[in-house]
A and B are shown apart, each in its own frame.
Chain A
């Protein structure tokens, strides 16, 4: 399997994605932002389609759209009571735009599927390098603002009364999620990206009780899903995103079951 360059690239990319999603996912879950993450992944699809239309690399289109829209979404949904509705409206708009750009770019349906559902074959060594730099950038920012982000994510009330700059933190975090979405969409596709950004961390929450512990577990679960998914996809020739989605969902349901048993005792 590793004698093929594209599989080596896919494993390198998958490893980067699992690490970034495991770490970011812990904050996504703590901030109750699963739905917003889903929207950003749809915006990513639209951005990739725009990239194709404009003759850019899809990742650049994705980065442009997700980063700009994360700032807009952050501003619009500063008040939590309108977050759901505002997010739905933006999501609808961007899916529509994505379809329009694909149609304008005259690309066929299989191209759209590869953006939506990801692809293992298309990842080159330079893609891996770009993902690596973006991930390092995200991790450095998280490292620098870690204590503030942790306080605001896990105890928003406490952070607010302390006078932390919670609005700036919120928008910074959304931009970081946008960058992570763009990175991860390369392999699992924009439609299923939120799987890696939410499920491993949501599962980890049931077993680990410190922020560091949750991160380690979430990264571990994401790595298992990505590596096993790539291997199974190579062996069976079925889509990698199916396997990753199935594995992460099974982990999550097992965790839920385990939790139920614990509380029943």
Chain B
């Protein structure tokens, strides 16, 4: 692998009171890789993501971001968001929320340009002024993706972000993600239950099962293997 490693999990384990979620997880992720994280509900996928985001202190081992050009910035797209139909902000304003910091309340010209650039990248330019509450499910997911991307992350986490989408919209969104992955060398962690989608888009997989974790090139992941792993308690 010629690309530098950007994220390393060493002997990582998380235990909730009397209940180990996972133990001794070792994983090295290199820049530009597209990983699918699979496994049944409750096996610890979201817990792993929280540990990676440093929102949860692991019981054993550690998560380290390895220094490479510019450091590691993470963009995260969760599955759910509390946005109802009368949520007022436009897609452009929603995307701009992620530009935080001790700065002036108003956005600079450079920041406006950054937002417009990312709206163009995600095919949202024409919808920029639409209130996000009135956007379709697919358009909203694209806006969530654009918000995660506006700070130019080099690691993108999609935490079951496509789970509630229809197959066509799902493909459209993942086509966009893989295009960014290839063009910009964006590293992607795709948490999913959808094995065909994982096989179509990723380069590697990590399967969490109650008995332990398994990883490898995506060609080794089959639906049968996932079912087998789920039974293997």
Number of A-B contacts (CB under 8 A): 63
Please determine whether A163 and B88 come into contact, CB atoms closer than 8 angstroms.
no
Partner of A161, one of B53, B88, B99: B53
20 contacts between A and B (CB under 8 A): A146-B105, A147-B103, A150-B97, A150-B105, A151-B97, A151-B98, A154-B89, A155-B94, A156-B82, A158-B81, A158-B97, A162-B98, A162-B100, A163-B54, A163-B55, A164-B100, A206-B86, A206-B88, A209-B93, A209-B129
**Interface footprint category on B:** 20 to 34
Q: Which residues of A contact B (CB under 8 A)?
A: 143-144, 146-148, 150-151, 154-159, 161-164, 205-206, 208-212, 214, 259
CB of B50 to closest CB in A, whole Å: 9
Identify the closest chain A residue to B50 (Cβ). A161
Residues of chain B lying within 8 A (CB to CB) of residue A144: 102
**Most chain B Cβ neighbours within 10 Å, of A144, A146, A159, A162:** A162
Please determine whether B80 and A157 come into contact, CB atoms closer than 8 angstroms.
yes
Residues of chain A lying within 8 A (CB to CB) of residue B80: 157
Please determine whether A209 and B89 come into contact, CB atoms closer than 8 angstroms.
yes
Question: Cβ of B220 < 8 Å from any Cβ of A?
Answer: no
Residues of chain A lying within 8 A (CB to CB) of residue B106: 212
Q: Given contacts A156-B82, A157-B80, A158-B98, are A205 and B88 in contact (CB under 8 A)?
A: yes
Please determine whether A211 and B89 come into contact, CB atoms closer than 8 angstroms.
yes
CB of B221 to closest CB in A, whole Å: 27
**Most chain A Cβ neighbours within 10 Å, of B78, B94, B97, B98:** B97
Please determine whether B89 and A210 come into contact, CB atoms closer than 8 angstroms.
yes
Residues of chain A lying within 8 A (CB to CB) of residue B94: 154-155
